[in-house]
Homo-oligomer: A and B are copies of this chain.
């Protein structure tokens, strides 16, 4: 029973970092017999010039049949060449919505090897190991009505709708409680219930679900402004944090610095479980396309590689292999392997491919 994986490098630094993940995937298939088939597919300016679509039919088909999508990044410098409508038709937000990838998991783990290059003090980073679960297919990203209108007095008015329903809140809260049970059994739900009705409902539904099914889990609540401060002040206090789409977007970037570098962060976006027990998932680094360094071969591939570890654990159900890959990344870092974003001034900087080499050679040695 082969698991189908679609590999889409995309734009900017996406193809460069994804190429390293692909080497890692090949290693696990060959050396550890992980049962998967890989299908590469294109996204962006190249298929656009050939087909008029940034997301061509072949890529759609590959993702459609896939159990897991390994995604690079979108929005390279070439973005300007593609008309907005064509880009929108194949956007990442569209994909999240199409496959209903509502639970976005963003683990934040501070690697002691990177303490020197992090902006936070070493004692603050100590023990940092938490997961932000961001609701990914609702909230203000998708709420209607939205737009820009002309007012009678000649002004313009921009408007968007933040919105959540009972089921949308409960299913992502459920993911958080279930994940917490496999960890330190703590969930912190983040909202702005002192101002927003959407957040009042969010908090009520989280509390109700907790009482009905998860009262063994320790549940706390923070307002989003306080959460942003606590993530910087004392990030080690968190285990699982669950929040809505826009708050999760902001807080996960804020938390990135508690891991040393944005380049280190993986993510998984999970859809609903279907009647055959399958769950479509998209794995991608948290970083974006980084147009300023695209094509230079210096991007950090570890965010992408660590999202392969998440795939091994969550889609392939191979926890030992996931652990193995994470240990290999730790081992590579412990021997001093550094791309530019995590290098101390004056230290040797590896290229993207050399960092891939370092992880592969660590895998061989473990």
Interface residues of A (CB under 8 A from B): 93, 119-121, 124, 140-141, 143, 146-148, 151, 155-167, 192, 195-202, 205, 224-226, 228-229, 231-234, 246-247, 249-254, 256-257, 262
Contacts and interface: CB of A to CB of B under 8 A. Distances in A.
Given A121-B121, A232-B119, A158 B198 contact: yes
B229 A228 contact: no
Contacts of A157: 163-166, 201
Contacts of A163: 157-160
A199 B247 CA distance: 16
B158 A164 contact: yes
Contacts of A119: 120-121, 124, 232-234
Given A160-B161, A165-B156, A225 B197 contact: no
Nearest to A142: B195
A122 to B, nearest CB: 9
Contacts of A159: 143, 161-163, 197-198
B201 A229 contact: no
Nearest to A286: B225
Contact of A141 (B121, B195, B224): B195
B161 A165 contact: no
A284 to B, nearest CB: 15
Nearest to A170: B155
Contacts of A192: 246, 249
Q: Which 3 A-B pairs have the closest CB atoms?
A: A158-B201, A158-B198, A228-B254
B148 A197 contact: yes
B253 A226 contact: yes
Nearest to A288: B226
A155 B120 CA distance: 43
Contacts of A200: 148, 158
Residue from A158, A196, A229 whose CB has the most chain B CB atoms within 10 Å: A158
A252 B257 CA distance: 17
A134 B215 CA distance: 39
Contacts of A225: 249-250, 252-253
A201 B120 contact: no
Contacts of A148: 197, 200-201
A228 B201 contact: no
Nearest to A224: B250
Given A163-B158, A166-B155, A253-B225, A197 B232 contact: no
